[in-house]
Structure 1
Amino acid sequence: MRKSWAIPLFLLVAGTASTVAVGAAGGDDAINPQSLRLQAIGDAALAKQQPAAAIDAYEAAAAVDPRNGRAFIGIAHAYEAQGLPGKAVRFYREALALDPNNLAALEGQGKALVARGARARANLNLVRIKTLCKTDCAAAKRLEVALAAPVVAPVASAEAAKPAVVKN
């Protein structure tokens, strides 16, 4: 977590801990409303192309209610917007731990794996999506398109092109 909001997050979590405990004790599977509000803030920040602010809000949402899989998917989307598919894969995995049949998480993780060059692993996600859908499935089609795209070799930031040797 980022230090800039670690203290306010602690206060937020401490203030809602009793609500979460009561909800869990009562067998209520509903996501904590405060977590949903923070998730909505993350959604708005992501829509405004502010991925860092979105990550902060989504992380707070996940801290308030760790069962909020959509918060983990939001974090993953924000990391993808920053060009960090490796971090995105981790958060899709968190969402899938909560719900292994989450089509959005399977698709997103598959696309992030493709971006990292892990096409074989992404193909496993495609097979899983097709197993879950049974009929025409938009998530499967979008992942198939990503898998069909040509492989582009990433350029490391420290990599430099060798200058051409010119003979006089």
Structure 2
Amino acid sequence: MIQDPMLNLLSATAQGDKIAFAELYRVSSKRLYAVSLKMLKRKELAEEALQEAYVRIWHNAAQYRAGKGSVLTWMISIARYRALDILRYHAVRKEDVFSDNDEGPQLSSEPMIGTEKGLLEKCLAALEVQQRQTIHLAYFNGMSHHEVTAHLDLPLGTVKSWIRRGLQSLQRCLKL
């Protein structure tokens, strides 16, 4: 069994080791920031979500359970929920989170070159409608599987299957 390389850092963080926490931040912050930025589309909101996520990670490090996924997956879920909280906060206040010049969600924190973006768009267009819709809701709108099921009024297993098969098709099309 391969051990998660971040597990030791998280375990030390749970014991209050600030140096381990700093290293955990160093090795994971770019990915968590990319998730937050993808969902919130504004740098300052993504930074706010990231900060709140790491506060939660620091306070809840001892709550991590290895059987439920990798350390990074656990941390990304915390960042996603912080971003969703920010989106909900602004929605309740009817504030426009997105600026007028937004072109929609970015696929990563790094800009894509034209050929990469074109290939991704081509591969997304080749998916079945249901797969494309569920992937869009989950990855571009930041919805959890449960939120997608409620939004589409479909069983959870159906949504998970469509997303999984769609991602597999994307992977084949993009040759990852």
Q: TM class by shorter-chain length? A: under 0.3
TM-score normalised by structure 2 residue count: 0.24
Q: In terms of Rg, which structure is larger? A: 1
Kindly indicate whether structure 1 or structure 2 has the higher relative contact order, using CA contacts under 8 Å at least 6 residues apart.
Answer: 2
TM-score normalised by structure 1 residue count: 0.25
